Amino acid sequence: MMKRMIEDVTLKLLEVREKERSQINSCIGFDGFVDQIFRVVKHRHSPSQCQFFQSIEEFADYIKAASGKSSDIEIFLQEVKLGGNAAILANALANLGSNVKCIGTFGINEMHDTFQGMPPNCKLISIGEPAYTHAFEFKDGKLMFGQIESLHQINWEIIKNHLGLPEITRLFKTSDLIAIVNWSAISQMRSILAGIMNEVFPNVQPELLKNKFCFFDIADPSLREPEELRIFLNNIGHFSEYSQVILSLNEKEAEIIFKILKPDVPESNLQKIGRIIFDNLKIHLLVIHMLKGAIGFSKTGLTEAPGFYVENPKISTGGGDNFNAGFCMGRLLNLSVRDSLLMGNATSSFYVTNGMSPNYKQLVEFFEAQKRINNGS
């Protein structure tokens, strides 16, 4: 079954010409981070050799043992890279061939150096200073500490003042994909969604909007009030009255939303959780991505696609955003939900393996390699 799926999606990707991909336009917002990726040193053997903590649990046990005693911990800076859900998604989508306009926090007087290497088909439109993430990587996940004061300043008026309503409307009219991500970190997102609904959508022809994808990714909502999350979920339901709404979640985010929607219902099966979430939201498609696969929910039912699990990832920060890029590109190329999920899984796997987002040729080669593995060659 896996072999057949890989062969199907590989053939479809090979049939898509570069011209078709270059005609796809995406508009993404509204964050921008400078990501500092660290490893935590467990033992230092010499100036050039050390051993890192391998798991969050192992590190947590070490910290717990230091309670009441204090501890001195060495961290190793592995990489400084562009970050933020919007910026990483924009970079990955542009690498796959879409023309991208990304509105976010990349620097006011001048663009931060971290964002200088974006693909030429990705235009950054800055509305504020970047936020910062200090990400501690482990084999089983990551701990991310964010400095996001600049994101708390972003609201609809700020966006309008920087771009102007006519330009915002033009971007939305000409984009096949409108992606609004990192709700959790942008505390004034409600005003942005209201501005789009009340000031932009009325100026876009309904027949244009109904064929567009409005894509949402909330990021980890643990620090936000449950009532704020309920309001957000209700708001994206209103977007479904105009366009095709997709909500993408990871496993943790899905569990949090489920508990908010159904606080008295015990459920641990992710497929049932996803179905209940979808049935309670007025959206077109719900996607849940995990380490070893992804599932989608729509009016036609459940769709599943296996992943390409990476035992020793080079990087994990940004893996979910690369999944979203691959999945969105699949939908923009009119691939099925199943094949789009598979494309998302492959894009994420390539990214965490190589520490960079694949271009379209590399993604096709990835599927070709998986096909050979499944053929036993």
Residue 249 has pLDDT above 60, yes or no: yes
Domain that holds residue 180: 2-36+83-374
* 50 falls within a domain: no
Q: Give me 94's structure tokens.
A: 């542009």
The stretch 200-205 carries a mean pLDDT of: 95
**Which residues lie below 8 Å from residue 300, measured CB to CB, with a gap of 6+?**
none
* 59 falls within a domain: no
Residue 377 has pLDDT above 70, yes or no: no
* 299 falls within a domain: yes
Domain count along the chain: 1
Angle between helices 226-239 and 251-261 (to 10 degrees): 100
Q: Is 32 helix (H, G, I), strand (E, B) or coil?
A: coil
User: What is the pLDDT at residue 106?
Assistant: 97
Question: What pLDDT digit, counting tens, does each position of 9-22 carry?
Answer: 888 888 998 888 99
Residue percentage of the chain with pLDDT more than 90? 84
* 324 falls within a domain: yes
* 370 falls within a domain: yes
Question: What pLDDT digit, counting tens, does each position of 131-145 carry?
Answer: 999 999 998 888 989
Q: What is the CATH number of the domain that holds 155?
A: 3.40.1190.20
Task: Kindly report the backbone phi and psi dihedral angles of residue 208, in degrees, each rounded to the nearest multiple of 5, phi listed first.
Answer: -75, -45
User: What is the pLDDT at residue 373?
Assistant: 82
The stretch 219-248 carries a mean pLDDT of: 95
* 290 falls within a domain: yes
* 43 falls within a domain: no
* 62 falls within a domain: no
Model-level pTM? 0.90
Report the Cα 127 to chain-centroid distance in Å: 20
